[in-house]
Amino acid sequence: MSSTNGGSDALSLEARARVEVFIPLREDDLGYQAVSQWVAEEFAFRRGGSTTTTSFLGLCASPTTGTLARDHVQIVFTDILVDLDDIDARNELVAELPLLRMDLEGTLHEEEEIWVTLSPIGIVRR
């Protein structure tokens, strides 16, 4: 996709995929910090870069007690130069994600669920 701004500058949209890993933060457990660092380094070496967010507060309402559980999470993500509309490229990427999730579940075994998400994004380029 491309467009112009007053006819002078052509812009294009570069298709990419974003993989995000939501890692719970446990200040009393150095293993969680090591996992965050491992994911960030793995993304950097295998995919060319990564970003690690600061802590986010998540809230979850208990369906049985009506109370709120507070959980701090950190998100580590990477943007991959792949068009998710390309079926073969998408399938190759999707096949890798369960392996990452299994590694995380094996390390963070006390967690109910580890989120690994995949979404299409577009980077605006000149």
Q: Is the pLDDT of residue 4 over 70?
A: no
Contacts of 98 (CB under 8 A, 6+ apart): none
pLDDT tens for 24-68 read: 888 778 888 889 999 999 999 999 999 999 888 888 887 888 889
pTM above 0.85, yes or no: no
Give pLDDT, residue 46.
93
How does residue 71 score in pLDDT terms, banded at 50, 70 and 90? Answer: confident
Structure tokens belonging to residue 6? 């007053």
Q: Where are the domains of the chain?
A: 12-125
Give pLDDT, residue 35.
92
CATH topology for 12-125? Answer: Alpha-Beta Plaits (3.30.70)
